[in-house]
Amino acid sequence: MARSAPRARWGGRSLSTLLARLVGRNGDGTAAAAARRSNPDAVVDCAVYLDGRREPGRPHYADAYARSRRTRRSFVWLGLHEPGAAVMAAVGRTFGLDELAVAQALADGHRPTVQRHGEVTLLVLRTAGYVEHTELTDTSEVIDTGDVMMFLGHRFVITVRHGAAGALTPVRADLERRPGVLAEGPWAVAYAVCDRMVDLYLEVAGHLESDLERVEENVFARDHRADIQHIYQLKREVAEFKRAVLPLPAPLRAVRERRDGGPPPGLHRWFADVDGRLTRAVDQVNSYDELLNSILQARLTQLAVDQNNDMRKIAAWAAIAATQTAVAGVYGMNFVHMPEVGWRYGYPAALLVMAVAGFTLHRLFRRSGWL
């Protein structure tokens, strides 16, 4: 059997491998290395935008930021979902983020706010989503909340999302179809995210209104099917929704009024539109909370009335039983000198008196509404 020609080797490596590595160090080597470097799993998407248009590909966030810094009128949008400490630390070093802000981005449950860290603005929003359910119980989850943190710099915007609610993939897709708005830079992304969150608030508010109508119908139904635990659970869910919506107008107003480092003039009217719809959402949430308080008080009043009715029924039956007990007790004393003791019909007559007294009292209590 003929032997194959031996391959030339260099230091234990095949010549073809060395040639490939040498080529990789030349002009096309940088692109090959960048292609081999992939984004972490926490990266939902990463793109460079030039004049409102997305550049082809999905580069590593470090390469994308370097490219945006070399090109005018461009910026990078990095989307993260629940990143770990190592990923967030690497992102912070790449984009020059404040250490405290990076630490904040690792946790959820933040209050809506706007902060300034050097040249970077941190805008925090709460996300909200409605959880479908067939019926309301004392453990039903009605509102699912999370948060979105946005780091806005001169050539970048980083969105960090926690929780299942408020996915930003539709926001990116919609904004990429509006290059005129996207050309305004990173603050265009901030506007689009705020707009999406307010839309979710209004959508959740619409579903909550339907739940409140059903609870109200059950409370004022004749059979009073609404359980007070169910009402209280819905009130807890509305309180969670309030914590997401009510604190947002103040930071959003601060963003609109900022003169240095805020949104460009071309986006002011868009932020004003978001602010107007947010006001409507706040009014709805406040009205729902007041309505739930009224429903809860009405149900408590119903329970008090039901208890009072029960007590009246118990008292009425006790009065009827007392007449029987009184007659039987008197004639059970076995005294010799008692009226009609020796009468032949005395025993049936006593039973008749007891029956007539009980029937008369029952009719009287029924007529007065006690029975």
CA atoms of 299 and 227, how far apart (whole Å): 9
Residue 20 CA to residue 228 CA, distance in Å, equals: 73
Q: Which of 198, 179, 175, 181 is nearest to 264 (CA)?
A: 181
Give the pLDDT score at 234: 83
Share of the chain above pLDDT 90, in %: 33
Among 101-105, 132-136, 155-159, 356-360, the range scoring the smallest mean pLDDT is: 132-136
- Residue that wins the pLDDT comparison between 294 and 138: 294
Contact 193, 160 (CB under 8 A): no
C-alpha span between 163 and 122 (Å, rounded): 19
Q: List all residues 6 or more positions away from 366 whose beta carbon is below 8 Å from its beta carbon.
A: none
Place of tokens 């969105």: 159
Q: What is the pLDDT of residue 114?
A: 92
CATH class belonging to 42-303: alpha beta
CA 30 vs CA 34, 133, 244: distances in Å: 6, 53, 45
Q: What is the pTM assigned to this prediction? A: 0.73
How far apart, in whole angstroms, are the C-alpha atoms of residue 252 and residue 359? 73
Mean pLDDT of 307-325: 80
Nearest CA-CA partner of 93 in 61, 49, 47: 61
The pLDDT assigned to 337 comes to 67
The whole-angstrom separation of Cα 329 and Cα 7 is 122
At 10 the pLDDT is: 33
The tokens of 59 are what? 């580069």
Q: How far apart are CA 281 and CA 142, in angstroms?
A: 17
pLDDT at residue 22, as a whole number: 32
Residue with tokens 């460079």: 48
pLDDT tens-digit readout, 344-356: 777 787 788 888 8
Cα separation, 38 vs 83, in Å, equals: 15
Q: What CATH class does 306-368 carry?
A: mainly alpha
* DSSP β-ladder status, 43-50 and 53-54: antiparallel
Q: pLDDT (tens digit, 9 = 90+) per residue, 247-275?
A: 999 999 888 887 777 888 889 999 999 99
The 10s digit of each residue's pLDDT in 204-236 is 999 888 888 888 777 777 766 667 777 788 888
User: Of 74-78, 134-138, 197-201, 212-216, which gets the smallest average pLDDT?
Assistant: 134-138
CB 219, CB 299: distance < 8 Å: yes
- Average pLDDT, rounded, for the chain: 81
* 42-303 and 306-368 agree in CATH topology: no
Per the listing, tokens 């990078």 go with 76
Give the confidence band of 121 by pLDDT, cuts at 50, 70, 90. very high
Closest of 248, 276, 251, 273 to residue 262, by C-alpha: 251
Which DSSP helix (H) or strand (E) runs through 162?
strand 156-162
Domain boundaries, the chain: 42-303, 306-368
Structure tokens that stand for 270 in this block:
């868009």
pLDDT of 30: 40
Query: What is the Cα–Cα distance from 52 to 43, expressed in whole angstroms?
Result: 21
Q: What's phi and psi for 164, nearest 5 deg? A: -85, -25
Q: Dump pLDDT digits (tens) for 18-57.
A: 333 333 333 333 433 443 456 777 889 999 999 989 998 8
If one counts every other C-beta atom within 10 angstroms of the C-beta of residue 135, the result is 7
